[in-house]
Amino acid sequence: MSDPTEPPEGNWWDQPVNRRETIWLGIAGAWSLAIFGWMSGFTRFGEQNPIGETYEVEPQEYLEKVQAYKERAEQTEEGYLIPPDDQVYIGGIRFNWDGLPAVLEAGTEYEFHLGSYDVQHGFSVRPEGNLSKQINLQIFPDTEWIVPMTFDEPGTYHVICNEFCGNGHNGMHGKFFVE
In a domain, 33, yes or no: yes
CA distance 97 to 116: 9
Specify whether 86 is located in the same domain as 132: yes
CATH code: domain of residue 138: 2.60.40.420
CA distance 174 to 147: 18
In a domain, 114, yes or no: yes
Specify whether 59 is located in the same domain as 26: no
Range of the domain at 75: 53-178
In a domain, 149, yes or no: yes
CA distance 170 to 3: 53
Say how many domains are in the chain: 2
**How would you write the pLDDT of the chain (179 residues) with one tens digit per residue?**
578 888 878 887 788 888 999 999 999 999 999 999 998 888 777 766 667 889 999 999 999 999 999 999 999 999 899 999 999 999 999 999 999 999 999 999 999 999 999 999 999 999 988 877 888 899 999 999 999 999 999 999 999 999 998 898 888 999 999 99
Cis peptide before 95 (omega within 30 of 0): yes
Specify whether 58 is located in the same domain as 19: no
Specify whether 71 is located in the same domain as 25: no
- AA identity, residue 118: D
Specify whether 79 is located in the same domain as 18: no
Specify whether 36 is located in the same domain as 57: no
Q: What is the DSSP letter of 141?
A: B
In a domain, 1, yes or no: no
